[in-house]
Structure 1
């Protein structure tokens, strides 16, 4: 009898161990299935497609993206403002030639409308007018390292070029001020500036005020310059940045931008 009892006890213990092993294996299998299911339902971010010439055109904002009474024009590529022509006086800077070169690059970039340098990839631009103000909007593809350097330079300008003088071709002196300007949190990185140039034009003292906004989205960038002798409408600059960034992201991800903005602030 004792032998039978021991045998039964051994069988029960063996069965219990077997059951414990099955439960553990079942739990592990269930956890694995849950993990696999979770991985299977994860949504990967779309990979941006390289900007094409057609894509750059599609990414441009329209008059419908802007508030107020901006009118789109076809002559923006030829816009130039003579007040931006001048030679920076290096003698007024603590570091002389280095700071002067940064400030000269700013004036030349604003005049030539290529603050980030000539784009090596596809690009497009458009312009709008409202009274005496002009808003130029550009989209272009760049090299990543070049964009890094350009943004480092832009971020240094409110300190390096906070105020300086430039001498025009007629010998007149222009006073230039550069201050940082806020922008919506759009794109990967951004830099806003307000540049004021005061000097004579045709014998009359005038002041040109320009908003500058540059936004990076991947390896592409948006550049906005907006202003005139009547000042700069910063709200329009912010709207161009917000709506333009959305349009560029849509193009990068293979979607068609909305024909009208979803909302204005």
Structure 2
């Protein structure tokens, strides 16, 4: 994969004020830490229903480096990833329906920032992150209430229309322009939705464009979320690989099998 960018922009991304902040800089470390690969203790104790995702099962269902193409490297700190370009208050004036549509777009930004785009899991959950240059891929699997999961997928489907283009302003008055379009997702699982979210703003005073490809898939009452991208542009091929491999692994876990490494 060939990557080019101005040297000053790359340098700014790697500074302390970089695009991605550490877990210690976040106000919600309790939430992100809780989602680290252990999942819910209650779910781990639930053995009566064989198709109920346990903490161990969620771990086993996570994809590995061999499941995605290119030169992705697994990292240990994915629970602390937060993208500062996703922080901002949505401008209500951008919307005809004002408060209702603005609230949906705010929920989108907040969900991408806090890694809970499908809502809070009802049981076990696990996540794993990968890096390739300045791009990052976050893979999550979790148990949800079935109705809530269907509602979340239906909500995602409305966003390319309701949030096709809007602005958000951070605490320092910096504006971001956000665009949302629908993307295709491999025909895997029971239901699915794909989005591409593009955010234009400044990083250390230099213009930057963040592109995130998002895929959400329901497999029974469990959900998979893949978010990948960065300043290099889209990573849709890697997202497709992650979905295809991840659904197979999750189905194996649900069937009581051990996925191949």
TM-score, structure 2 normalization: 0.80
Q: Cα distance, 1:221 vs. partner?
A: 0.4
- In the alignment, does 2:150 pair up with 1:133? no
Q: Using structure 1 for the length normalisation, give the TM-score.
A: 0.79
User: 1:32 — aligned with what?
Assistant: none
Residue of structure 2 in register with 1:107 after alignment: 109
Match of 2:195 in 1: 193
SS in 1 for 2:167: strand
Query: What runs of 5+ residues in structure 1 fail to find an aligned partner?
Result: 1-46, 260-265
- Secondary structure, aligned partner of 1:61: coil
CA distance in structure 2 between the aligned counterparts of 1:155 and 1:48, rounded to whole angstroms: 31
Q: Which residue of 2 aligns with 1:10?
A: none
Task: Tell me the CA shift for residue 258 of structure 1.
Answer: 2.0
The DSSP-based 3-state class of the residue aligned with 1:169 is: coil
Query: In the alignment, what sits opposite 1:221?
Result: 223
Establish whether residue 150 from structure 1 lines up as the match of residue 152 from structure 2.
yes
Q: Deviation digits for residues 121-143 of structure 1, max 9, x if unmatched?
A: 00000000000000000000000
Question: Tell me, what secondary structure is at the counterpart of 1:49?
Answer: coil
Task: Provide the rounded CA distance (Å) in 2 between the counterparts of 1:184 and 1:149.
Answer: 20
RMSD between aligned residues: 1.0
Aligned partner of residue 251 in structure 2, secondary structure: helix
For 1:169 and 1:225, locate their aligned partners in 2 and report how far apart those are by CA, in whole Å.
25
Match of 1:43 in 2: none
For 1:92 and 1:236, locate their aligned partners in 2 and report how far apart those are by CA, in whole Å: 33
Distance 2:234 2:252 in 1: 28
Choose between structure 1 and 2: higher helix proportion: 1
**1:60 Cα deviation from its structure 2 partner:** 0.1
Q: In the aligned structure 2, how far is the partner of 1:81 from the partner of 1:151?
A: 23
Give the secondary-structure state (helix, strand or coil) at the position aligned to 1:64.
Answer: helix
| Residues 186-265 of structure 1 aligned to structure 2 (within 5 Å) | 186-259=188-261
| Number of the residue aligned with 2:87 | 85
The 2-side partners of 1:198 and 1:48 are apart by: 46
Per-residue CA deviations over 1:226-261 (Å, capped at 9, x if unaligned) read: 0001112211000000000000000001111122xx
Return the offset for 1:94: 0.7
Show structure 1 runs of 4+ deviating over 6 A.
Answer: none
1:176-227 per-position Cα deviation (integer Å, ceiling 9, x unaligned): 0000011110000000000000011211110000000000000000000000
Q: Secondary structure at the match of 2:82?
A: coil
